[in-house]
């Protein structure tokens, strides 16, 4: 069964410092992996995804994520955090099988609240 774990409910970091939001997954085969961000009172916004190829994926707003197959992880990173990065971050995984009830289906983690203080 597919599942996603975000082991930290909350991550706090000072502005200008690097940030990491962790994600591990469990899925049969090679997955598609996603990060989404939710700002207060808003819908989820797509940040980046890993499909194939280079393990380091670059996305919006200076974020990047590294796919590590041996550790089944897809941690989100940013070299220098901004106060405006404070939001709720969701990791999601999708099976490469794309038919029937798996069609387009994403499995989301429980979210990690990132707080960047000035």
Partner 1 sequence: DTAVSQTPKYLVTQMGNDKSIKCEQNLGHDTMYWYKQDSKKFLKIMFSYNNKELIINETVPNRFSPKSPDKAHLNLHINSLELGDSAVYFCASSQGVGGQIQVGTQYFGPGTRLTVL
- Residue numbers at the binding site for partner 1 (CB under 8 A): 32, 34, 36, 38, 41-46, 49, 51-52, 88, 90, 94, 98, 100-101, 103-106, 108, 110-111
- Please answer whether residues 60 and 54 qualify as being in contact, where contact means their C-beta atoms are separated by less than 8 angstroms: no
Task: Give the nearest distance from C-beta 51 to partner 1 in angstroms.
Answer: 6
Task: Give the nearest distance from C-beta 80 to partner 1 in angstroms.
Answer: 26
Closer residue to partner 1, CB minimum distance, 6 or 24: 6
As a whole number of angstroms, the distance between CA 21 and CA 4 comes to: 13
CA 6 to chain centre: 9
Task: Give the nearest distance from C-beta 108 to partner 1 in angstroms.
Answer: 5
As a whole number of angstroms, the distance between CA 6 and CA 69 comes to: 16
């Amino acid at each position: 069964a597919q599942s996603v774990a975000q082991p930290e409910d909350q991550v706090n970091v000072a502005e200008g410092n690097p940030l990491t939001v962790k994600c591990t997954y469990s899925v049969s085969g090679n997955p598609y992996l996603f990060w989404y961000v939710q700002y207060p009172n808003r819908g989820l916004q797509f940040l980046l995804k890993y499909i194939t190829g280079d393990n380091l994926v670059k996305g919006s707003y200076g974020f990047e994520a590294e796919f590590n197959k041996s550790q089944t992880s897809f941690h989100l990173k940013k070299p220098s955090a901004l106060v405006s990065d404070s939001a709720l971050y969701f990791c999601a995984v999708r099976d490469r099988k794309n038919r029937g009830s798996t069609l387009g289906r994403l499995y989301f983690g429980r979210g990690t609240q990132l707080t960047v203080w000035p």
